[in-house]
Structure 1
Amino acid sequence: MVNMLRQYHTFYALLMKMDNFKSKCFVPIFSFVLLLCGCAVDGTAQSNAVHDANQNRAGNNEGFWDSKVLFGKPDSKSLQISSGVQSLLFKSVDYKGKSTEVFAYYSDPDMLNGKTSQKKFPGVVLLHGGGGKAFQEWVEKWAAEGYAAIAIDFGGKDGNGNRLENAGPAQGAEEKFTNIANGPLTDVWTYHAVASSILAHSWLRAQPKVDSSMTFVTGISWGGYLTCIVGSVDHRFKAAVPVYGCGYYGESDVFKKDLNQLSGGFREKWLQYFDPSVYLPHSQVKFLFINGNKDRFYNVIPYSKSYSLVSEKNRRVCIKPDMLHSHPRGWEPLEIRSFFDHLAYGYADLPSLNDIRMGEGSISASYNAPVTLANASFYYTSDTLSTNENRKWQSVKAEIDPDSKKISCKMPEEGFAYGFFSIKDHRSVSASSEFVINGRVE
């Protein structure tokens, strides 16, 4: 069977170079054959992995994560409640033929305050990034702000950093990338992380204190990457906020190095099944994309291509100048809660920018803002040689015209390769335009 699988992979790589093969008919069918063979390597074709032969929509692998299983409340057990936060384990999908459990923290406003009420709260699923864990303080933050929140661990560990007895994959490069060449797709880290995130959402929705019609997801870095997929696959969410993370991993300054080490068609297979760019075009929920302009891992071009895959009516973008990359920096933006609060409670919306125009000697944009703007700037760079984190940016103040709802500034005399407007209102809530790349909006 292993030899057969290798032959299929070789044949697949050759066929993918043929234009006629890259049709909507052949790719899903052949991918399904490969997937079945991959599952047969260790003899564990998991019952919870319904593959995408009959659910594939224009190349979308949404059926790969089986909603019939993942949308049901998983079995769970409470470990303890301490300082208003509950720790628990819930059952997730199989790994290498064995059942797994995932550690999580949960809290809501009543639990955090040690009281009982008849209120139901909006819910939020919190997805950490690489090197992270289920952060108790992240759950506390959201519970203090009026949300029922669950934060899960993606590395098979408990709250003390110990490996669980029934752990899934760790979160190293081998589990994230190399495993795709060593076994079935269902042993790759992303498969487990996405499945566990959706199961955590199902668990959250089933809690008596949660308004199941008003749930959200946000994640940081690799968690932002997961948010792009989870928010696209699980349409039960109201909205999603990926921070830093995006798709087109093959174009990342950092992650393309791991992908380029995969051979025999596995790089293309990883991108086909595990890159957010496959799923974002099929998203139905509202997205707010938050990133810095100099992020090391998620650079301008793949980032702009990623958010552009979501329909204009469902996407918002907030580029925060010189934003640093960390978990605390990733959960602190006021824009995340303001975005959710607007949808959950009807509070004032975020400001927004659109209709960028470049005339002779000037560049302008229209804006909408429920709160008066405090400032506006245009950031730009002509540096196309440096890596994203080392790129040199400049800024100029933009004039605000509250009557016409427009901001404008002089066009940089030297021109620019990448640029964006940034505005902030008197709540200190900010928004940005989408990137302007080489004289066009991306």
Structure 2
Amino acid sequence: MTRLFAVLTVLFATWPSVGADPVGPWDVKALKAAEVKPEWGKDAGRVKEVFYPGEPLKGKATRVFAYYARPATGAGPFPAVLLVHGGGGKAFPAWAEHWAARGYCALAMDLSGNGPNGPLADGGPDQSDDTKFRDFDDKTVRDMWTYHAVAAVLRGHNLLRRLPEVDKENVAVTGISWGGYLTCIVAGVDDRLKAAVPVYGCGFLHENSVWKESRFDKVGAARRQRWVGAFDPSKYLPNVTCPILFLNGTNDFAYPLDSYQKCYELVKGPRAVSVRVRLPHGHIWTFGEVDAFIDSHLKKGAPLPEIGAMTRTGDTASAKVNSTVKLKAGQLHYAIADGPWQKREWKSLPAEIKDGVVSAKLPADRPLVYELAVTDDRGLEVSAPHAVLGADPPPAKKR
């Protein structure tokens, strides 16, 4: 007990509570105030190379490389979006082009210490798992990959805000996989954002994720809690104030639905959820839900449908639903609530939409995990938070 108390004392003394400045290891006030002067590089098709200063690494200055794109016509000011890649990713010029074609300025930065042609001599930490999960203390916490990656996104936000063609009051962030993980943290520390969309990535990685056994279970409790206390998104999601959309798949190999639901339920402000059956995992930036969600908050576009929490009466599940776009279909997605999330076999049944309510009769399978979902005429899908129905009790013994 004495040892545990000592560990917790160190943790609480080292990482300030969410809602304060600094938050975790980041001095958010200083980061938001940092002057970020771009160093423009070559034109690369419809995008432009840019370098900007990152946080010091082991006492030495660093630079971040990114691709910047803006709409082909018009003077602006345009809304803008920060694009955060995942593991094995890089600064993707095509991602920035995707958003520029949609009327946004976009910054797709590299978070692996690389430039356009490989590692930078003055780049930040690499993105290997060994680097992400290595041990640290209060003197080396600001040399960690997550620290640098989050700071690079905030500094990239500063860069966008200083450009004359950018509407600095209309900036969003979206990230994929590890970029989704980072987006969860960034949305909780940067209150200047107007919308956020983490795709796949979430927190509670120590409780269930592809890294639980390989990383968290192989280290001592103190080291594990040190990482979680500083770098797990669960510590920052309660601080999110901008609207946020969580997009994931039912069988995601890295971010399972139990950890995922714990994360989005931490958000106190406006949130939407889209858990798609067997959604593929990759650097995919063409999900219509992401585009429409950001449009609705930065360009007054038609919002995604809204679906409430599910209720159950007998074997019927229902949820309130509202949409400004005509709803095309309702569905009940379900699977046996047993075994690893990644291996569960999900099935779908039609659900009825009537008088602002979507409902469906549950199948006889038990134990059962299920969610109601609706799709609008644009083909965009949102879902209610999943629920689990336990196994039926054994029949009573005859006396």
Q: Give TM-score scaled by structure 2 length.
A: 0.92
Tell whether 2:316 aligns with 1:391: no
Q: Deviations over 1:206-241 (max 9, x none)?
A: 111100000000000000000000011000000100
Question: 1:138 pairs with 73, 90, 95, which one?
Answer: 95
Correspondence for 2:207 among 251, 258, 262:
251
In the alignment, structure 1 residue 223 sits paired with structure 2 residue 176 = no
Which letter does structure 2 place at the counterpart of 1:277?
S
Q: Does the CA-based 8 Å contact 2:22-2:28 persist in structure 1?
A: no
Tell me what 1:288 maps to: 245
8 Å contact 1:60–1:279 — kept in the other structure?
no
Change (3 A) 1:61 1:118: closer
Secondary structure in structure 2 of the residue aligned to 1:94? coil
- Following the alignment from structure 1 to structure 2, what is the Cα–Cα distance between the partners of residues 59 and 314? 21
Change (3 A) 1:91 1:305: same
* Residue of structure 2 aligned with 1:428, choices 379, 382, 386: 379
> How far apart, in 1, do the equivalents of 2:351 and 2:6 lie?
48
Q: 2:25 aligns with which of 64, 75, 80?
A: 64
Counterpart of 1:411?
Answer: 362
1:299-353 CA distance string (max 9 Å, x none): 0111000000001x4111111111010002xx11111111111112212111011
Report the AA paired with residue 421 of structure 1: L
Looking at secondary structure, tell me which structure has more helix per residue. 1
Change (3 A) 1:12 1:226: farther
| Conserved? CA contact 2:359–2:372, under 8 Å | no
CA distance in structure 2 between the partners assigned to 1:437 and 1:163 by the alignment: 46
Residues 231 and 363 (structure 1), Cα distance of their counterparts in 2 relative to 1, 3 Å cut: same
How far the C-alpha of 1:182 sits from its partner, in A, is 11
Post-superposition CA distance 1:176-201 (Å, at most 9, x none): 00142696111111000001111011
Q: Give the counterpart letter for 1:28 in structure 2.
A: F
SS at 1:180 equivalent: coil
State the aligned residue count. 388
SS in 2 for 1:62: coil
CA shift at 1:437, angstroms?
2.6
User: Which residue of 318, 329, 351 maps to 2:305?
Assistant: 351
2:288 maps to 334
d(CA) in 2 for partners of 1:205, 1:392: 46
What is the Cα deviation at residue 417 of structure 1? 3.1
Query: 1:199 maps to which residue?
Result: 155
Instruction: Note the C-alpha offset of 1:61.
Output: 6.3
Q: 2:170 aligns with which of 214, 218, 240?
A: 214
Cα distance in 2, alignment partners of residues 203 and 348 from structure 1: 29
Give the match's secondary structure for 2:206.
helix
User: How has the CA–CA distance of structure 1 residues 358 and 366 changed in structure 2, closer, same or farther, with 3 Å as cutoff?
Assistant: same
- Which residue of 291, 294, 310 corresponds with 2:267? 310
Cα offset for 1:263? 2.8
Q: Is the 8 A contact 1:13 1:265 kept in 2?
A: no
Distance 1:89 1:12 in 2: 49
Deviation at 1:391, TM superposition (A): 1.2
Residues 1:97 and 2:59 aligned together: yes
State the 1:261 CA deviation.
2.6
TM-aligned CA distance change 1:60 to 1:278, over 3 Å: farther
Contact 1:130 1:221 survives alignment (8 Å):
yes
In structure 2, the residue corresponding to 1:249 is in which secondary structure?
A: coil
Counterpart-to-counterpart distance in 2, 1:226 and 1:88? 21
| Residue pair 2:69, 2:100 contacting (<8 A) in 1 also | yes
Q: Note closer, same or farther for the CA distance 1:82–1:60 as it changes in structure 2 (3 Å cut).
A: closer
Paired residues of 1:61 and 1:273 also in contact (CA < 8 A): no
Structure 2 residues not aligned, in runs of 5+: 391-399
Structure 1 residues 57-136: aligned runs within 5 Å: 57=18, 62=23, 64-71=25-32, 72-109=34-71, 113=72, 115=73, 117-136=74-93
From the superposition, tell whether residues 300 and 68 of structure 1 become closer, same or farther in structure 2 (CA, over 3 Å): closer
Give per-residue Cα distances to partners, 1:356-378, cap 9 Å, x unaligned. Answer: 22112211111011111111111
CA distance in 2, matches of 1:16, 1:337: 47
Q: 1:429 to 1:226 in 2, by over 3 A?
A: same
Residue 437 of structure 1 is matched in structure 2 by 388
Quick one: distance in 2 between partners of 1:125 and 1:391? 34
Counterpart residue number, 2:396: none
Structure 2 residue identity aligned to 1:169: P
User: TM-score when scaled to structure 1?
Assistant: 0.83
Letter in 1 for 2:155: L
Alpha-carbon shift at residue 264 of structure 1 (Å):
6.2
Corresponding residue SS for 1:137: helix
* Distance apart, 1:59 and its partner CA: 9.0
Question: 1:142 deviation in Å?
Answer: 0.3
SS in 2 for 1:86: strand
Q: How much has 1:388 moved relative to structure 2?
A: 2.0
Separation in structure 2 between the aligned mates of residue 168 and residue 212 of structure 1, nearest angstrom: 26
Conserved in 1, the CA contact under 8 Å of 2:256 and 2:341? yes
Report the residue type matching 2:319 in the other structure.
Answer: A
RMSD: 2.1
CA distance change for structure 1 residues 177 and 61 in 2, over 3 Å: closer, same or farther? farther
